[in-house]
Chain A
């Protein structure tokens, strides 16, 4: 009962946040100079041409009307039409978003278990040789800029030992899945950073949980270490980890740009850069809204995961 109520409240809060994001996105593109009318016309168009175009696109109506129209359409997953290419935004965005989602998904699938393993090993043997080595490595990995990491990976695995492609272009008309090897280097570059960063936080959570009285009690009760770690310690360490991974996911969606550009990967960043250059506000607003939705949902999922593990939260969540 209470869990359902909590879920309902959480979804409502998410919807409210999403609405706020929509307002900000819309306001930003209103304030920026230029609009769809100026973007779609030649630079030598007269003021009359612009006014005519604005009327044709409905841009002369007051902004609340246009916002309502845009927001309600977005609810039906219709993100409007690009004034530049005259194509629906959903069509423009679908393929690159899929490619980026694939990159992020594969990265997360590698990063999460890796970060858990790194955090557990170094947290349980803190101060030991493995912990010191992993800690040193992750500090280095987090502090090197991603274009350098990506460049180094290309140098080693595409130039010196040419086993992997330096450029991650999928075959013409196909998706990256048709040539999975193109994913390896971008995923590696993202994972190096992600697993190092998340691993540090998992390590701290594991150390915290390791000091809890029930974990010590489980050891003193004579349970095998494997049981102590997986049944008694991990559930206590999970809440901070779950939220870390939600952060990671949102960071990846916004932060793949550098890697995508280094590897020429056909993801969202290429689309976004093009849209910014061409003042294609409809695409920018649409992508912004989609990313915000994805990130918010991942945080709700993290909350649900934590609740599923800890019965006290199920009771306390009102």
Chain B
């Protein structure tokens, strides 16, 4: 069905994004493409439907889908191909839904048969209600899971024979990830779809694919039946990838820090609401010096709101936050610089928190100057020292954020938090947009810094692997309430609350 021959795509500087790639996919076959970001996975996926991102250029080779040369086909043929033959599901499917169109319109604009019955059939096939009130809704009125399904149903409306999935599980919490994979598996089996499954999630690839292609720097480094590649990898790179993949059972045996130091951060009776809805309901927790406490919960349980209250960005309705026994002012504006600098947030994606026009070394030095009143020279020296501490070469100091990789940017964010002289680090899903290998190294760095500097770390995540590797104690949050608390071994080994159990079950499925 798909045949790629010697495809070479280069960027503006002439570097190869895909280097003479050859690959074929038969009707109904399910092929996984794994590799880190920058490996050319998305470029490959887009090339299959005849799309090339601006700045990239096809140098040679061809892509044939159902007998058609898609890189040279007419726009009308390409459109037909994308609707009827090979559909493309982009990263973060909910964002692909046009917010101004009702559910019904999202389906009918892509389907040949626009009758009510056909729309209902398309919706029910992915487990969505096909009734009229539902079809009249707008995307923002659906839950996250429904949005995922709707994005899928939209593509199925054209009745394609194959589907390209670009990182369908990235950023999803355990239960949601499971729902999406179940749905995809059902759909592929039911319709006999050919799948091209682009991912860096090896467990998902193991479950969904028959054949696996390992891509690195635009080159296929390994290729074979999924079982064989995962059980007996031949390329060293594949072995590295597999070693970095999280395994809950092994990680549970690692040593943990006992909560013995002074209490660094104490949250008591915190209640916060947004738009009249209570998001945090009487939450209390304690974080000790040198300890790593994980805050676990599904998306939307109030984890990020808690972080916002602790940093002072959001003023809670009631309750208090104290640092080494000293109460912190509830609002950021009232907080003196000294209180601000000691609690630092490392965001999910630091691209947004780094000034795109300021070299990263300057960004770090600036914090040292303002928060710790260093002279410009001292601050510059401190920035270089911190870059070294987080494992980045000094030369990177003059680079702009966009010239760094995602993992490097997260290291810069950590260095910047340290530049402020932080006692408490709040890490909000800091690895969720990183590849397994990079994520593992960032987490290892965080662990080392915590031990060396006796930092208190609050890890906010929905990813059990992060917790298993990184945390000493776990607090489980569900609908704004603390529902379970204990050591990592207790909570992950013998989950008590239904929410925890769902999360742990979904996580265990990956192992």
Contacts and interface: CB of A to CB of B under 8 A. Distances in A.
A joins B in a complex: yes
A312 B82 contact: no
A222 B97 CA distance: 14
Contacts of A221: 82-83, 87-88, 110, 154-155, 158
A312 B95 contact: no
Interface stretch (A13-21, A24-32, A211-219, A272-280): A211-219
Q: Which of A236, A312, A315 has its CB near the most chain B CB atoms (within 10 A)?
A: A312
A220 B98 contact: no
Given A220-B90, A221-B154, A222-B80, A311 B96 contact: no
A226 to B, nearest CB: 11
B23 to A, nearest CB: 20
A145 interface: no
Given A222-B79, A222-B83, A235-B100, A312 B138 contact: yes
Contacts of B275: 318
B478 to A, nearest CB: 25
Contacts, number: 74
Contacts of B88: 220-221
A264 B87 CA distance: 62
A173 B272 CA distance: 68
Contacts of B109: 223, 227, 231
A311 B98 contact: no
A232 interface: yes
Main secondary structure of the interface of A (DSSP, over half): helix
Interface residues of B, number: 32
A224 interface: yes
Nearest to B137: A311
B81 interface: yes
Nearest to B100: A235
Given A216-B90, A220-B51, A310 B99 contact: yes
Contacts of A301: none
A288 B87 CA distance: 59
Interface in B51-100: 51, 75, 78-84, 87-88, 90, 92, 95-100
B297 to A, nearest CB: 25
A162 B395 CA distance: 69
B95 A222 contact: no
Given A214-B95, A216-B90, A220-B88, A311 B138 contact: yes
A311 B90 contact: no
Interface in A220-273: 220-225, 227, 231-232, 235-236
A224 B98 contact: no
A311 B100 contact: yes
A235 B98 contact: yes
A131 to B, nearest CB: 14
B168 to A, nearest CB: 13
A222 B81 contact: yes
B49 interface: yes
Interface in A269-312: 309-312
A221 B140 CA distance: 20
Nearest to A212: B95
Contacts of B84: 222
A19 B101 CA distance: 39
B62 to A, nearest CB: 20
Contacts of A213: 90, 92, 95-96
Contacts of A218: 98
Interface string B146-158: 0000010011001
A312 B98 contact: no
B10 to A, nearest CB: 20
Q: Which of A222, A309, A312 has its CB near the most chain B CB atoms (within 10 A)?
A: A222
B90 A217 contact: yes
B108 to A, nearest CB: 12
Contacts of B81: 222
B141 interface: yes
Contacts of B78: 222
A105 B451 CA distance: 71
A214 B110 contact: no
A207 to B, nearest CB: 12
Contacts of B158: 221-222
16 contacts: A213-B96, A214-B97, A214-B98, A216-B96, A217-B97, A221-B154, A222-B81, A222-B110, A222-B158, A223-B109, A224-B79, A232-B101, A235-B99, A311-B100, A311-B138, A312-B99
Which 6 pairs from chain A and chain B are nearest by CB?
A222-B82, A217-B96, A222-B83, A235-B100, A213-B95, A311-B138
Interface of B: 46, 49, 51, 75, 78-84, 87-88, 90, 92, 95-101, 109-110, 138, 140-141, 151, 154-155, 158, 275
